[in-house]
Amino acid sequence: MTTLSERISQSVFDGSRLRVILLLDLHEGAQREFLEAYEHMRNSVASVPGHISDQLCQSIENPSQWLITSEWESAPPFLAWVNSEEHVQTVQPLHSCVRDTRSLKFNVLRETGQAFSVAPEQQRRPPADARASVRVGDGVVRHALTFTVRPGSEETVAKILAGYSAPAARVDDHTRLQRTSLFMHGNRVVRAIEVQGDLMAALRHVARQPEVRAVEEAINPYLEQDRDLDDPNSARIFFTRAALPAVHHVSGEGRRPREVNRHALFYEAKEGCGLAVARLLSEQDEAAAAHPEYPIVSSTVFHREDLVVRLVDVSGPIEDHAVAALGVQGPRKAAALARLLVDGDELPTTLDVRPGDATVARYVSRVDMQLITDRLAPEEN
């Protein structure tokens, strides 16, 4: 039986199967090239751990419209693949065939039967009804982009990024930009956005705005990864590699203190440990959010490979809540996190870290990213 969370939350760590839906609109005459590219992609993804099956469908009303669905054991293995360099190279041949795409991802919560045969090991998995937790959403899609700039250019890039004029918040009747928060840590830039409605429509809207285009062109000379925004393929590859998906979000319902400060904490995981860091922080936030006095009003964990960024809205100064801000409340949590991080030796290894721990406070001060700009969309009349 499914249960309903009382808090606003999202997570890729629920353990249920994942259904991925890719809607495609092909260029005229590109069907043959598309089918060849799909066969290459299908053969490649078939060997990816966590992949169960996929289907290719063509519209009976408009033959230029196609649908690819795939099923995965859970969301983490899919995200690991879709954010990999292998995926970038695998899907590259598809782009010349496709006019427009839209990707949707869903946890499988209930099912009435098997639409197709599955391997015996998959048949042993519990039914979706017995595993899944229904979550309450707020209609907001959270996403982030990250990239690095050339060492020595950080101050110049920060000034450029802080000086642009925000684009119009309204995208269309159903989509609206709500908030953009931009941070830097050393030469790494992280831009977190909150969108009500269609994320891809919002990203396209932002990319078309002249004030945004001017800023992107201004920082181009300082990027470590070259890009040409006039070349759709170059821009697509850059933003695909820059994607930093949200893997968990939770906020306490009705808790909005007078003073709320936004911070982003940068966690550099040891090789192969990024997912474990993201899962540990997500579990901590999920458990702690139930407590009315918890100082973290909301938290979003972003993860890609061995990079984890945790965006937190803190009630009051972060230095007063360093342990909660780091996400290591409870016995053994700091030690567990320390084992997973490149700089984990800077964290205490005692079994229980108390809220006023000075070592944690120093670590939080170091990994707390520099806030460049944080802009809320104006209220509409």
pLDDT 10s digits, 266-287:
999 999 999 999 999 999 998 8
Is the model's pLDDT at 238 over the cut of 60? yes
Q: Which domains does the chain have, with CATH numbers?
A: 17-108 (3.30.70.100), 140-244 (3.30.70.100), 246-371 (3.30.70)
Give mean pLDDT, residues 346-358: 74
Q: Each residue of 108-163: pLDDT tens digit?
A: 988 876 554 455 444 445 444 445 578 888 889 999 999 999 999 999 999 999 98
Is the model's pLDDT at 331 over the cut of 80? no
Q: Each residue of 319-329: pLDDT tens digit?
A: 999 989 999 87
Is the model's pLDDT at 352 over the cut of 70? no
User: What are the two backbone dihedrals, phi and then psi, of residue 248, each rounded to the nearest 5 degrees?
Assistant: -160, 140
Pairing of strands 133-136, 3-11: parallel
Quickly state the pLDDT bin for 194 (edges 50, 70, 90).
Answer: very high
Is the model's pLDDT at 350 over the cut of 50? yes
Whole-number Cα distances in Å, 19 to 43, 50, 55, 59, 218: 19, 12, 11, 19, 39
Is the model's pLDDT at 92 over the cut of 60? yes
Determine the pLDDT at residue 377: 76
Q: With contact defined as beta carbons under 8 Å apart, do 303 and 297 qualify?
A: no
Determine the pLDDT at residue 124: 44
Please tell me the pTM assigned to this model.
0.89
